[in-house]
Structure formats: C-alpha cells, structure tokens
C-alpha cells in the first residue's frame, strides 16, 4: 500500500516540482527571518530612543526577562508575539503597523512633540536656545560689518 502511494506520488509529480516546492519553502523561511530581523531592528530603535539604549531598563519596562530580551536584541532568538504585545502595551504611542511591518511613522496619532522623550525635549529646547543666540550674534556681526563698510567707504 505504502509502496503504491510513493509510486503514484513520484509519477504524478516531477522532480522539478519537488525542487520548486523546497525552494519556495526556503524562500518563505528566509523572508520570515528577515521580517523578524526588521522587527528586532525597530525594537532596538525603541530601546535607543525611549530607554537611552539600556536593554535592562527596556526589559524592566516591558516586563520581559533580561536574558530573553538580550537574546532578542542580539538576534539569537526570534522575538515572540507576547514580547511584541508587551512593547505595544508599554509604549502606547508606538504604532503596531510600524513595529510589525515597518509601515508609517513610529508613533501613532501623536504630534511630534508629544512623541519625544524628556531627554529629546530638553535637547530640542537647548537647540532652539542656541539658534536664537546665534541669530542675535549674527545680527550683531552684520551690524558691525555695515558700520565698518560705511567707515571704509566714506
């Protein structure tokens, strides 16, 4: 019975068919692996932006074991759906579409200012103050140039 089944299987499907099926299975596995790597890359970006690069702080916030999180980030282990859900529950501003598929903005429905961490807000404030100071300095120097040109031309 088993021998007849194998014979029928071999006669109905060519070697090329089985080779093609195997190649498609490998391609699908590689695609899934790339998608997991992409999610891991986006998780690492969240760690950098929201936890100042600290995997320890991140794992505590999302309630995932530190060793497990290290394995995810180092790509030694595929990230679990449970871990992804913990991330989305903890960081409500993070777009699930962005995290899972890389589509759209990192934050969902939040303005750019509210999506910034405290450190990012402070840096932004300092940059604005620097820009204002430099604009005043530039204006002062332009006034001196005008004065010097008038003296030199008179």
Report the range of poorest mean pLDDT among 26-40, 55-69, 85-99, 136-150: 26-40
- Tokens representing residue 64 in the block: 């995932």
What are the pLDDT digits (tens) for 94-135?
Answer: 888 888 888 888 887 654 445 567 777 778 778 878 888 888
Going by C-alpha positions, the residue among 31, 41, 54 that lies closest to residue 106 is: 41
Helix ranges, the chain (H): 2-12, 15-50, 55-62, 66-73, 81-90, 96-101, 118-153
Instruction: State the Cα–Cα distance between residues 16 and 75, nearest whole angstrom.
Output: 34
6 has pLDDT over 60: no
pTM for the whole structure = 0.49
């Amino acid at each position: 019975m088993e021998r007849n089944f194998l014979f029928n299987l071999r006669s109905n499907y060519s070697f090329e068919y089985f080779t093609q099926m195997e190649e498609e299975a490998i391609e699908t596995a590689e695609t899934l692996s790339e998608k997991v790597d992409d999610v891991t890359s986006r998780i690492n970006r969240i760690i950098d932006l929201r936890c100042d690069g600290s995997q320890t702080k991140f794992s505590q916030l999302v309630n995932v074991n530190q060793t497990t999180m290290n394995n995810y980030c180092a790509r030694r282990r595929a990230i679990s759906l449970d871990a992804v859900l913990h991330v989305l529950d903890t960081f409500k501003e993070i777009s699930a579409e962005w995290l899972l598929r890389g589509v759209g903005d990192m934050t969902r429905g939040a303005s750019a200012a509210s999506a910034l961490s405290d450190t990012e807000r402070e840096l932004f404030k300092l940059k604005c103050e620097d820009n204002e100071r430099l604009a005043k300095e530039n204006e002062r120097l332009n006034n001196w140039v005008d004065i010097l040109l008038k003296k030199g031309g008179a």
